[in-house]
Amino acid sequence: MRDTWRVAVGSAAVGLAVAVAAVAVTGPWDSGQRTAERVRAASWVQGGGPGHGGAGLPGGPAPAPSAPEVLTALGAAPGGGRAAGGDVAEGAGGDGAAPGRGEAPPPTRTALTDTLEPLLEDGALGTLRTASVVDVVTGRQLYGSNSGRAVVPASTVKVATAVAALSAVGPEHRIPTRVVWEAERKRIFLVGGGDTTLTRAQLRRLADTTARELAGRGVKEVSLAYDTSLYSGPERHPIGVNDNLAPVTPLMVEAGRLDDSTHGPAPRSADPAADAAGLFAERLRNRGVDVGAPVARRVPGRSGGGVEELAVHRSAPLSELVERMLADSDNDLAEALARQTAIARGEPASFEGVRRAVRDELAGQGRRLHLKGVRFADGSGLDRADRVSAELLTGLLALAADPGRPELRPVLTGLPVARFTGTLGGRYDEEATRNGAGVVRAKTGTLTGVNTLAGTVVDADGRLLAFAFTASGTTDRQGAHAALDRLASALANCGCR
């Protein structure tokens, strides 16, 4: 009989070893949260030695002798099978593909069915349940239940938003907030680029630089305008005024929050762009610049006279923004990243432009993804018109683990760690879910009547799996969360052969 306690501890150790190895190689490590996770994870796997870094990726150190089967899950995928998003390969429903040398064997479809289907029958999961489990090494779907049916995904749609943005724009891109000078009219423009993470301190520094540049030109009096023309279409999300999301504008400070919070619901400014411009003007006055009340106006084109850039602030790299969006389920940042995808693809930076751009970007990936019935009505998942299948979610997660797509790795490193970080902090502390603590990394999704979970897990044999579970028509949010967590934990505790 399996010793559950030993499996839980062992799985937690090797699972966090994967987190350390994968993130150490692919980064980024700029954020304090990522650094804290790395330290915590390393403390769980003391004695593993330096060989735990690298995850078998090209150029990295060799996998640790204590966990070769786990770390090869992020190495090159053997041939055969199918890319996640297609039909189950012949034989995958039985014993599955034979593991390569040094690899842990994948679970079989039959064993996964025996493990998951009783849990999927939990009444807390509502009236419609969908599920997909994929072997990350081969890309094969090992288990599916209504997996191709597109349903309301809630915030798990952010996985698609992340993949599209990283693919279209690149992980090193930084979103600018610029100040430009129109000398003819002695007017400066504060130009929004879509950085929802701009802080008050950063805006003050931008104003300080602007004041120095003006002083160097002998300018003591200016007019101020602010330009939000990068975005088009309605500023209000279809859900209307809501503490989960500010008006969608390319210029704002701290996501338009009116309190001291940094994530989660909060009272929001009705006009974040005007508020940001007001703070900017106030700082200029404090630096000796005579400036009137700011007005909304677009920067003139070449026909309107010459303009030059005075100062610029650039956000953290897109890779770090993606991690923050996924860990905190940041809706403002999700809408901003979706609009970066739209801009990169030549679409309007609007809800309609996002709908086309995200789908088209995913359709252009080298791996076949299940896009039938899919709709991206927004980037955050707050819109109930969104439609995503469990099969697409697991396909995207498998794609993000592909050694040939390192630019997508922040999709995995940004996922909350069960019981420890982000929207999974505090969950997985019950007896039935404790095996998933530290081993499950997943994006959560919650709307009234909708609960979803999609991420990765290391099973009891050390195999890295991607999973997605959705529940529609739920009436008990906490009960649905617990049922979803039991499904993911069952994978963590399962050799399933």
* CB within 8 Å of 100: residues ≥ 6 apart: 72, 78
d(Cα 439, Cα 287) in Å, to the nearest integer? 51
| Residue with the larger pLDDT of the pair 99 and 202 | 202
| pLDDT score of 24 | 36
| pLDDT score of 495 | 81
d(Cα 356, Cα 9) in Å, to the nearest integer? 45
Domains and CATH numbers, the chain: 74-170+348-492 (3.40.710.10), 176-315 (3.50.80.20)
Question: ∠113-105-42 over CA atoms, to 5°?
Answer: 105
pLDDT tens string 456-486: 999 999 999 999 999 999 999 999 999 999 9
| pLDDT score of 230 | 98
| pLDDT score of 305 | 57
pLDDT tens string 226-254: 999 999 999 999 999 999 999 999 999 99
Which neighbouring-strand residues pair with 454?
443, 468
Name the pLDDT band for 104 (thresholds 50, 70, 90). Answer: confident
d(Cα 105, Cα 459) in Å, to the nearest integer? 10
**26 phi and psi angles, rounded to 5 deg:** -95, -20
| pLDDT score of 234 | 95
Asked whether 24 and 54 are in contact (CB, 8 A), the reply is yes
By percentage, how much of the chain surpasses pLDDT 70?
78
Across residues 198-205, what is the average pLDDT? 98
- ω into 50 cis (within 30 of 0): no
Q: Report the relative pairing of strands 141-145 and 128-135 from DSSP bridges.
A: antiparallel
Please give the mean pLDDT across all residues of the chain: 84
* CB within 8 Å of 77: residues ≥ 6 apart: 137, 138, 139, 402, 403
Asked whether 135 and 394 are in contact (CB, 8 A), the reply is no
Whether pLDDT at 219 is above 90: yes
User: Three-state DSSP class for 385?
Assistant: coil
| pLDDT score of 99 | 55
Comparing CA positions, the residue from 203, 233, 395 lying closest to residue 315 is 203
| DSSP labels, 33-92 | HHHHHHHHHHHHTTT--GGGSSTT-TTSPPPPTT-HHHHGGGSPPPSSS--BTBPPPTTT
Which two tokens mark 130?
């969908």
| pLDDT score of 173 | 98
Asked whether 132 and 390 are in contact (CB, 8 A), the reply is yes
Which two tokens mark 351?
């809800």
* CB within 8 Å of 107: residues ≥ 6 apart: 96, 133, 135, 142, 143, 459, 461, 463, 465, 494, 495, 496, 497
| Residue with the larger pLDDT of the pair 50 and 181 | 181
The half-sphere exposure of 223 on its side-chain side, counting CA atoms within 13 A, is 11
| pLDDT score of 105 | 83
Tell me which H or E stretch contains 141.
Answer: strand 141-145
Name the pLDDT band for 301 (thresholds 50, 70, 90). Answer: confident
Asked whether 431 and 75 are in contact (CB, 8 A), the reply is no
pTM above threshold 0.85 = no
Whether pLDDT at 21 is above 70: no
Which neighbouring-strand residues pair with 245?
242
Buried b / exposed e over 173-184, threshold 16 CB at 10 Å, is bebebbbbbbee
Across residues 176-198, what is the average pLDDT? 97
pLDDT tens string 340-373: 999 999 999 999 999 999 999 999 997 779 999 9
Asked whether 494 and 439 are in contact (CB, 8 A), the reply is no
Within 10 angstroms of residue 344's Cβ, the number of other Cβ atoms is 17
Q: How many helices (H) and strands (E) does the chain have?
A: 13, 11
| pLDDT score of 12 | 44
pLDDT tens string 134-161: 999 999 999 999 999 999 999 999 999 9
d(Cα 110, Cα 10) in Å, to the nearest integer? 25
| pLDDT score of 236 | 95
pLDDT tens string 47-60: 333 222 333 333 33
d(Cα 344, Cα 168) in Å, to the nearest integer? 6
Question: ∠171-313-29 over CA atoms, to 5°?
Answer: 40
By percentage, how much of the chain surpasses pLDDT 90?
75
d(Cα 184, Cα 172) in Å, to the nearest integer? 36
| pLDDT score of 102 | 54
d(Cα 77, Cα 63) in Å, to the nearest integer? 16
